[in-house]
Amino acid sequence: MKRMISRLKKNAGRNNQGRITMRHQGSGNTILYRAIDFKQMKIGIPGKVEAIEYDPYRTAFIARISYKDGDRRYILAPHSLKVGTVILTGPDAPLEAGNRTVLKRIPIGSFVHNVELFPGKGGQMGRSAGVSIQVLAHEEGYTHLKMPSGEIRKVLWDNYASIGQVSNPEYNLVSIGKAGRSRWLNKRPTVRGSAMNPRDHPYGGGEGRQPRGTKRPKTKWGKTTGGRKTRRKKKWSNAMIVKRREKKR
């Protein structure tokens, strides 16, 4: 839909002064942004799936919806959604894949995606290809959700969520195949720190393949990276986390 696409300005990892603040970005194919309706606040208005489309700005597929009032919008396509299916948003919507309703109505054990963190703001959690969030409990105005990382957190049960898993679950099996395809994806080459000179990286120098030579992993600028916690200790949403994700060993 032409009215739902626009061209976003490419910054290639530069800030407002033109300086590179994020390395390894640049080039890439020319792509158009599709405006996705993450809120889906067409309450009680049925919409028919006209097409399932590819979106270059995201890993999941998107669905073009034609609503009964004549409006057309793009939404995140759940897995197994078919062309011709009728979807509905509302507090009493049927509990079927693609429909959107409040969390407190969704049975325990069900999987959801595109979950709101704040009422009316639109979905912010569970939007990547193949992702699903499991409903674990409803308690005292909150719904307990198990995130893909294993973290369990509380969300207001009046928030909306879409039922089902996000489409394109095989995305993680895609093989890039060649260096050129990474360049199409706006990714520039990355040089290993151990292949640099000592003045360019803490891992540089030495004859042949050398060990790291430092106690902790570091960035090019000497900042400790592995095993250092980066989350703010006083972040407001800490109170909403019931169980932290398990540390990888």
126 is a domain residue = yes
133 is a domain residue = yes
Residue 103 near residue 82 (C-beta atoms within 8 A): no
C-alpha 242/C-alpha 153 separation (Å) is: 5
245 is a domain residue = no
Report the mean per-residue pLDDT for the chain. 92
Q: What value does the mean pLDDT take over residues 106-113?
A: 94
- Mind listing the pLDDT tens digit for each residue in 126-145? 999 999 999 999 999 999 99
Q: DSSP characters for 101-138? A: EEGGGSPTT-EEESEESSTTS-EEES-STT--EEEEEE
181 is a domain residue = no
Element (DSSP H or E) covering residue 180: helix 179-184
- Mind listing the pLDDT tens digit for each residue in 168-220? 999 999 999 999 999 999 999 999 999 999 999 999 999 989 999 888 899 99
Give the pLDDT of residue 178.
Answer: 95
236 is a domain residue = no
Residue 84 near residue 48 (C-beta atoms within 8 A): yes
C-alpha 195/C-alpha 205 separation (Å) is: 7
Q: Which of 114, 130, 146 lies closest to 40, judged by CA?
A: 114
213 is a domain residue = no
CATH number at residue 113: 2.30.30.30
Token pair 């993680």: residue: 172
C-alpha 165/C-alpha 29 separation (Å) is: 29
232 is a domain residue = no
Report how far apart, in Å, the C-alpha atoms of 148 and of each of 102, 116, 131, 153 are.
Answer: 20, 16, 7, 11
Give the 3-state secondary structure of residue 143: strand
Report how far apart, in Å, the C-alpha atoms of 229 and of each of 45, 125, 222 are.
Answer: 46, 22, 16
- Mind listing the pLDDT tens digit for each residue in 88-108? 999 999 999 989 999 999 999
Residue 164 near residue 138 (C-beta atoms within 8 A): no
Our CA angle for 71, 91, 142, nearest 5°, is 125
Q: In this structure, what token pair is assigned to residue 100?
A: 């959107």
Terminal C-alpha separation, the chain = 46
Q: What value does the mean pLDDT take over residues 224-229?
A: 84
The domain tally of the chain equals 1
Query: The domain containing residue 76 runs over which residues?
Result: 2-171
Predicted structure pTM score:
0.86
Element (DSSP H or E) covering residue 182: helix 179-184
